Structure formats: C-alpha cells, structure tokens
Structure 1
Amino acid sequence: MTPDQWLAALRSGMASVAATSPEHLDRDVPPCPGWTVRSAIAHVGNVHRWAVGVLVGEKVPYDDKDAPTGKAVIDWYSGLADKLVAALESADLDAPTKSPFGERPVRFWYRRQAQEVAVHRWDIESAYRGWDSDPIDTVLAADGIAEWSEVFAPRRIGAGGTPEYLRGTRILLNANDSGDSWLLRADADGIGIVEEDAAPDATITASTSDLLLAVWHRVPLSRVAVDGNVDRAQQVFNLVKI
C-alpha cells in the first residue's frame, strides 16, 4: 500500500470510531476482555496522541486514564484524530522517527496507525454487532498480515526466541475472497512469510479480514476453516500477543 492509501484507510477508520453511538459506550468488547467501548476508544485516542508526539518531537506519556467519560470521549477522540492526520501530512515521509521497533521513517506511522484503527474499529463494532461487524478492507487486511509478520513477530517473540518444538512450523493462510495466500514459517526469531513448496502443517482458509483478525486473536480458529494441525497453528499465533 502507498501512504495515500494508508491515509485514506486511516481517515475511514477514524470516522467509524467517531461515529460510535454514545448508547454503546458501556458495552463490553468481547475480543478484548476488560474493555468497554469507551475504554477501546480511549486506547485508540491515546495511541494517536502518542504518535503525534513522536512525529512532532515531543514526549507524550501514554495514559488512558485522562480520557473523558461518557459521550465526551467521542469528541475527545475526534480532536486527537484530526491532530494525527495533520501531523502525518506535515511530515516528510522519509524523515526518521522513533518507534517501539527502532528508528523508522514517517511512512511507518501511516501504516501503523491505519492498521491500529482498522483492528480496533472492528473491536468496537463487535461490541454491538458481534460477528456481523463490517470486515476490514481486503487490501488493508492483506497489508496487516504482512505487518504482523514483518514488524510484530520479531519484537514479540523477542530474545527468548521461538520454542524449539515450534521452529519450522508452516501455516498457510488462504484468502477465499481475494485468492491471495501467505505461507508463514516459524523460525528461531520470528514468523516470516516465505515462498517455498513445503507442505504446511496447517492451512487456514477464510476472508482476508478474518485471517488478519485470527492472527490478532480476534477471530478464533474455531470460526474459520482449518485443515491440519490446528493446535500447532494456535501455538504459533500465541507467540505474538499484545
């Protein structure tokens, strides 16, 4: 995806979050135990605020506790969303910035914030629409699968590495809406997307949106088609949790 595509996706996701009805704010968010819709919105707003601080060179503490209660949290969120868009648009795409994953160019934040909002928008909708929540856009979800493998897996698996018994495990993600597929292989220090002819230990078939939501532990593997060793697939996904 291009920065313009990420920005368009970000704007769309922000608009959906900002359109949340106040009557839903106290509902629980099933994929995120302990969260209500209000706390999910507070989380995303604080992520935006923190990202703005990175982009403009200011240290901004991450703290959900100062987010307003009640319907005021929605206006609070909208204001932070506008500030994030302004900060992104005024920055040089290739300028170096800090990130939790080391130094990255500004364009990293276009992608990261678009993906952040995409998944949490789904989380928020799931509180009042359940499994009928609007799916994540197919192109955006495909990009999210790549980001999960490229960015999050190496960091979350960390210095301890992948357990010996999971190394070499292959999982094929098969998108039944786009025809795309991704062969994941668990190695010592990450979960990479590879191109090889080896047979997978498990094949997971679903929409691109559900595949992304599955690797992020939103959609359980019991709700998608799995051929092969479902327990091994779950163990690999469990290596990457936030």
Structure 2
Amino acid sequence: MRVEIWSDIACPWCYVGKARFEKGLAGFAHRDDVEVVHRSFELDPGRAKDDIELVTDMLARKYGRTPDEVRSMEANVAANAQAEGLGYLAEGRDHGSTFDIHRLLHLAKARGRQDELLTLAYRANFAEERSVFDDAVLLDLAVEAGLDAEEARAVLADPKAYADEVRADEQEAAELGANAVPFFVFDRRYGISGGQPAEVFAQALEQAWKDRPVTAAADAAACDADGACEVP
C-alpha cells in the first residue's frame, strides 16, 4: 500500500502532521508493507531565492497581525508540536523559497534517502537555528541524510535539476483538489487534509488496507496554498 504526502518545509502543520502520521503508522500491523512517498507543495511558489525574512515579520505583514497576535499564533503551534515530542522555535526562524529543498528532496528520493532528509530539514527549520534557505545548510543536511556531497552540490547549483519533478508533484496536487497541506492520499482511494490526530491516521490505514470506502475526515489545522497556517 502506498501513502503519498504533499507537504512543504515551511508548513508547521506538515511538521506536526508527519509526526502524528508516523505514530499512527507505528501501530499498524501491516506497516512494513506501506510505502510512504513525500511529494512537493510550495506554499510560496513565486518567492525569489534571495527573498528571506523572519517568519514573525512575514506573518505580521501578510495577515495584518500585531506582534502579540503573531506570538500567540506561534505559541499555539509550538504547543501542538511539543505535544508530539517535537522541538519548535516560536521566534527567530527564517521564511523564504522552499524550491531548492524540494529539488534536493527529489534527489534524496532517487537515492532512497528522502525521509531522512525531510526529517532533518524539518528539525533544522523548526527546532534548530539553521536556515534551510541557505545552500550551505542544505548541503550539510544532504550529507547528514546520507547523500553524496558533490551530487547534492551539483543539484543546488543547477536550478533546472529536479525542477520538473517538483512542478509535476504540484500539478498533481492541483488535479487532486489539494489546496492545503499536509495532504495525505491513501492508495489513491481517498485523501485526508491537515495534521490529524494519530488515531485518524491509524484508522485510515486500516480502512485503506481493507479496501473499504470511507468518509473523508473533517479538516484539521493546515497551511493553505496562500501560506495561511491558521488554527481552526
């Protein structure tokens, strides 16, 4: 059985949702027969590579929020992340284009190291003071994930490398009607949007395995295509 997950490194609910999905998967009897494929979805696809700012500044500007409101928003996400055992820096994180990390993730997929790189990239972006919008950091993460340094460097140096794969994932997301991430597709039978509780993912795995039609789960917290990461 295949589970495809559309996500973006800049999306906090993708970070939380990955941990919750993995908890649901851990208790699934047939987990060794599940192939997990991570697919690309940029929340800010038109952003220039050198257009980097603090997340808190972006949130305040984009949504017209005060500094106190932004801190409250980030504190809420931090509480959800910490409840899953994840680190989360509510302040000091950068925001920028995630196109390069998505391209690098496709290299990692081709080399069988996709989940390793994704896990490291999420941790760097949300829990560590390491900017995933810096090529030097991305190269370090690639090596930590087990990729060849020269191959990763060549991908980062060539903006066309794996660009078609990123765009194909994004086009497929649009065709599937995915307008928010994380978005989980179970064996091409149905989809679940948002960082659902682990129990929802566990149930979805069981139902998909049995090939029974299910009712789509209610939406949970997610980041939409405009980059909005609101809490319902």
Q: TM-score range by the shorter chain?
A: under 0.3
TM-score, with structure 2 as normaliser: 0.26
The structure with the largest alpha-carbon Rg is: 1
* TM-score between the two structures when normalised by the length of structure 1: 0.25
